Chain A
């Protein structure tokens, strides 16, 4: 992965930075230049809540090469408090225990290694909370 392409996304991947529309209040993650709800173009930078719920998920058995060492792994769509939804791995939990409706919390983890000499890529994953 070209370093600039990676570090451009760091505010979102490391800090969950989103854009909150100054007119209608819609939160966009990642941030956008134009609000998809009201068309406004000015936003406040906010940090997303770290608590959420699994809306749907799967277990990846056949993985892309940079994830093959992790397979099988669970990945899902998590709705964070406030309504923003993210695609994220669900980890630190037996695969058979994961279910729709499960409460989870965002943690900062290593996502993938970019080949043997490339950069290590970090970001968010979710872990279950009881």
Chain B
């Protein structure tokens, strides 16, 4: 296997982009990444997208997007794993470069979510759960995560305020990110007074509906300096895992077993452990998710995820800053793009390009992207080469 480098990253604007189509948003991000990498060609492409069929009535993205990017003729594939589509696309691109099949691979992620009504978006997102045995009975995604929250609160004494601190922290980070959809700070009181969606979760516990794309360019590590003069970032570890699709089929509702397994594989491959990570982007689709994820990644002990947000452990300046980009909560969550945008944030952090939200001396970062209620997860570890 060859060593692989990330030599370019880019993002489109994120938000409610009424004037832009899926193809335009994707090409914006892809061109930004190609420009950042300084490459004059792309040998192959992977696109992470959860549900362009339900959101915009368009499938066959490999053809559409290679065509509109002006690279038709290259091999391309769309990758789907619900909200983990972007992360799995990145892993696919990584494997293709590592294997020696292609040298310069573009990995993109995209979702155009505002061409349907709120109910249409809820329906599309609900397809990431078991439609016949969860969705059929009227449970929503906020509802599934709310059931995790109730269980976590009962078992570990996690408080409603601690859960709110995740949103407050991520908005504080997002307020420093010019690309965030909601770049402003919120307070615990605002979270606790916002509209109830599924008890105990409120609207400010939930990530938003977002249009957006992100992209990264990968190449063999020994070729990286031919293209880029920037600091080269190396993919040190890649791990992926699956779990039951239905939350009710798990022994433990608050332990993300797929995240645990994926991270153990990535740590082993990189030869590091949780305490060696300087900065992490994790899947905070709901506030409670970040709490359970940082436990599964080994950043904190089981049951202590709530305290971590409250104490500042996971804030900028804390022991392990989590979601410096603002996370899904503040930056936005165009589902298929999220996993690739995490790579963008960590790459920029390692290059020292993150401005006000820069983690000083960041040498190694981790991304964790998951689908549904954790039925699929992919973890990557990036390092300064």
Q: Is the interface of A mostly helix, strand, loop or mixed?
A: strand
**Would you give the 0/1 interface string for B118-133, flagging 1 where the beta carbon is closer than 8 Å to chain A?**
0100110010000011
Q: Is B24 an interface position by the 8 A CB rule? A: no
Number of interface residues of B (CB under 8 A): 33
B133 touches A60 (CB 8 A): no
Contacts of B133 in A (CB 8 A): 12, 30, 86-87
CB distance from B112 to the nearest CB of A (A): 21
A75 vs B146: C-alpha distance when bound (angstroms): 10
Q: Is A15 an interface position by the 8 A CB rule? A: no
A87 vs B119: C-alpha distance when bound (angstroms): 21
B139 touches A9 (CB 8 A): no
Contacts of B246 in A (CB 8 A): 87
B248 touches A77 (CB 8 A): yes
A65 vs B122: C-alpha distance when bound (angstroms): 9
A77 touches B198 (CB 8 A): no
CB distance from B197 to the nearest CB of A (A): 5
Contacts of B142 in A (CB 8 A): 62
Interface positions of B from 20 to 35, Cβ below 8 Å from A? none
A55 touches B137 (CB 8 A): no
Within 8 Å by CB of A85, from B138, B201, B248, lies B248
Which one of A13, A30, A60 has the highest number of Cβ atoms from chain B below 10 Å of its Cβ?
Answer: A60
Interface positions of A from 67 to 86, Cβ below 8 Å from B? 67, 70, 73, 75-77, 85-86
CB distance from A82 to the nearest CB of B (A): 14
B147 touches A57 (CB 8 A): yes
A56 touches B138 (CB 8 A): no
Q: Decide: A111 near B199, CB < 8 A? Known: A64-B123, A87-B246.
A: no
CB distance from B287 to the nearest CB of A (A): 14
B136 touches A123 (CB 8 A): yes
Interface positions of A from 52 to 110, Cβ below 8 Å from B? 55-67, 70, 73, 75-77, 85-89, 100
A9 vs B132: C-alpha distance when bound (angstroms): 8
Q: Decide: A60 near B137, CB < 8 A? Known: A55-B253, A76-B147, A87-B248.
A: no
B246 to chain A: closest residue by CB: A87
B137 touches A56 (CB 8 A): no
Question: Shortest 7 CB-CB distances between A and B: which pairs?
Answer: A58-B146, A67-B138, A85-B248, A56-B147, A59-B199, A56-B151, A77-B248
Between-chain CB contacts (< 8 Å), 23 pairs: A13-B136, A56-B147, A56-B148, A58-B139, A58-B146, A58-B150, A58-B199, A58-B201, A60-B139, A62-B198, A63-B138, A63-B140, A64-B135, A73-B138, A75-B137, A75-B147, A77-B147, A85-B248, A87-B134, A89-B138, A100-B154, A112-B136, A123-B137
Chain B interface (Cβ < 8 Å from any Cβ of A):
119, 122-123, 126, 132-140, 142-143, 146-148, 150-151, 154, 195-201, 246-249, 253
Chain A interface (Cβ < 8 Å from any Cβ of B):
9, 12-13, 30, 55-67, 70, 73, 75-77, 85-89, 100, 111-112, 121, 123, 125
**With A73-B138, A111-B137 already in contact, 15 other A-B pairs whose C-beta atoms are closer than 8 Å:** A55-B253, A56-B147, A57-B147, A59-B199, A61-B195, A62-B197, A62-B198, A63-B140, A64-B138, A65-B119, A66-B138, A75-B137, A75-B138, A75-B139, A77-B253
